[in-house]
Amino acid sequence: MTKSAVLMVLAALLLAGCSSNDWRSASREPAGIATSAASPEAVIEVFAADAFGWRGIFAVHTWIAIKPAHAREYTVYEVVGWRVERGQPALYSYQTPTPDRYWYGARPEKLLSLRGAEAAALIPRIAEASARYPWADEYTAVPGPNSNTFPAWIALQVPELGLELPFSAIGSGYAD
pLDDT for residue 99 is more than 60: yes
Average pLDDT of span 54-58 = 74
pLDDT for residue 1 is more than 80: no
- Could you list the beta-strand ranges (E) of 30-144: 43-50, 60-67, 74-79, 91-96, 109-115
Which structural domain, as residue segments, surrounds residue 68? 3-175
Average pLDDT of span 93-118 = 95
Number of domains in the chain: 1
H or E stretch covering 101: none
Contact 126/48 with Cβ under 8 angstroms? no
The structure's pTM equals: 0.85
Q: Which of 6-10, 94-98, 120-124, 151-155 has the lowest mean pLDDT?
A: 6-10
pLDDT in tens, 62-73: 999 999 999 999
Q: How far is CA 10 from CA 15, 26, 59, 94, 142, in A?
A: 9, 25, 17, 39, 21
H or E stretch covering 124: helix 116-131
Q: Which residue has the higher pLDDT, 14 or 56?
A: 56
pLDDT > 90 fraction of the chain, expressed in percent and rounded: 70
| Predicted pLDDT at 23 | 56
CB burial of 34-65 (b: ≥16 within 10 Å; e: otherwise) equals: bbebeeeebbbbbbbbbbbbebbeebbbbbbb
Average pLDDT of span 128-142 = 95
| Predicted pLDDT at 105 | 84
- What contacts 76, CB < 8 A, 6 or more positions away? 63, 64, 65, 93, 94, 95, 96, 99
